[in-house]
Structure 1
Amino acid sequence: MIQLYGHEISGNSYKVRLMLSLLNLEYEWVRVDLMQGEHKSPEYLAMNPLGQVPLLVDGAIQLADAQAILVYLARQYGGDPWLPLEALPLAQVIRWLSIAAGEVRQGPENARLYHLFGTGTNINIERATQKANLILSQLDQHLQTHTWLEFDRPTIGDVAVFPYVALARDGKIDLDAFPNVLNWIDRVKQLPGYIPMAGL
């Protein structure tokens, strides 16, 4: 049985939960209480030295980092539709994983963290808001001519980018200015196996 260690307000935990559901995979949810510092406990650090969620356990495999877990699930259980192996299509999907870990993290994700947890996060909210609007503007322009981020179907690129973009309003980011992004969010929500999280 697959186990997923995570927290319900973590967008990175959610993207893995979403992928597991889209693949119709059974798993055990193991809640890690971030507010009580459980992710920094010796027991958890022994499994994930970075002390972050999510963490996936699949038999003898222990794998941290949401983007890495998406790659594993796609290739182990989903196949080419979710993550092709040909050089160019593979690179095109991986680019969106990089954007999720880079621009989306620095923008919508950081803005959400700031407004959920306050100034103790050491996040520059003006910079995060500026970065959020920049990546959302670029995403909106891209989605003018694309139904999904790449190809004619969803991939793990869509799953990786989706949570913190869809949760942008938690970070006081106005999504109404990005109609193509809103339409894409609705398309993701219509996928068979879609599950919501708090705020979505």
Structure 2
Amino acid sequence: MTNSIKIHSFPLSGHAHRVELFASIAGIKHEVNNINLPEGEHKQAPFLALNPLGQVPTIEDGDIVISDSNAILVYLARKYAPDYLPQDPQLEAEVQKFLTLAAGELAYGPAAARLVTVFNVPIDHDFTKATAAKVLTKLENHMVGREFLVGNAPTIADISIYSYTAHAPEGGVSLEPYPNVRRLLSNIESLSGFKAMPTTKAGLLAE
């Protein structure tokens, strides 16, 4: 690969982090362009020309522009890192299941709880924590006897759930009751090229 993909990102976005994390772990040549969300850069014409929804992450790969974090993971795996998206139909379906979980229960649980405490978003914190407990219990049970979510090697499934799961404590959601989940996070953190997402403190401006 001769060209570098450009990742339009924001340091405190778990959605953006999962793309940066995958590019780093998979050894995909890339550069990061941080968009100033607190100043509204994502709603200005230059960025809206790339992504009319005004959301990060968005990537540029030559003339190709892709948005939505999970869609980006699939694109990057298909094009540059096929080992992270199994070709076996059953295993690929398992990966897709966890991408759906990341976009659904994980987003409405740990990710949403973090929006309350870190970004002061006025949503029901008790509901988000209850949802987080359900999805973390599901992951905990799934990880019995496993090192990664699908098969015997890391896939984009692991990448998709990492950022908001690892940062669940920032939303007031403890990971102590979930040793298998913590083991999964540790396994991901042990991968070559791992890149941490910055830890945040309550009171920062909302995304």
**Short-chain TM bin:** over 0.9
Scaled by the length of structure 2, the TM-score of the pair is 0.92
C-alpha distance in 1 between matches for 2:78 and 2:93: 15
Paired residue for 2:134?
A: 134
Q: Percent identity?
A: 36
C-alpha distance in 2 between matches for 1:87 and 1:179: 30
Deviation digits for residues 104-128 of structure 1 (CA, Å, limit 9, x no counterpart): 000000001111111xx23211111
Number of aligned residue pairs: give it.
197
Paired residue for 2:204?
A: none
The structure richer in helix per residue is 1
- Counting only pairs closer than 5 Å after superposition, residues 10-21 of structure 1 correspond to structure 2 as 10-21=13-24
Amino acid at match of 2:115: L
Paired residue for 2:109?
A: 107
C-alpha distance in 1 between matches for 2:12 and 2:183: 23
Paired residue for 1:159?
A: 159
Q: 1:22 aligns with which of 20, 25, 41?
A: 25
Deviation digits for residues 38-95 of structure 1 (CA, Å, limit 9, x no counterpart): 111122111101111000000010000000000011010111x211233221111010
User: Is residue 35 from structure 1 mapped to residue 38 from structure 2 by the alignment?
Assistant: yes
Scaled by the length of structure 1, the TM-score of the pair is 0.95
Amino acid at match of 1:48: N
C-alpha distance in 1 between matches for 2:26 and 2:175: 28
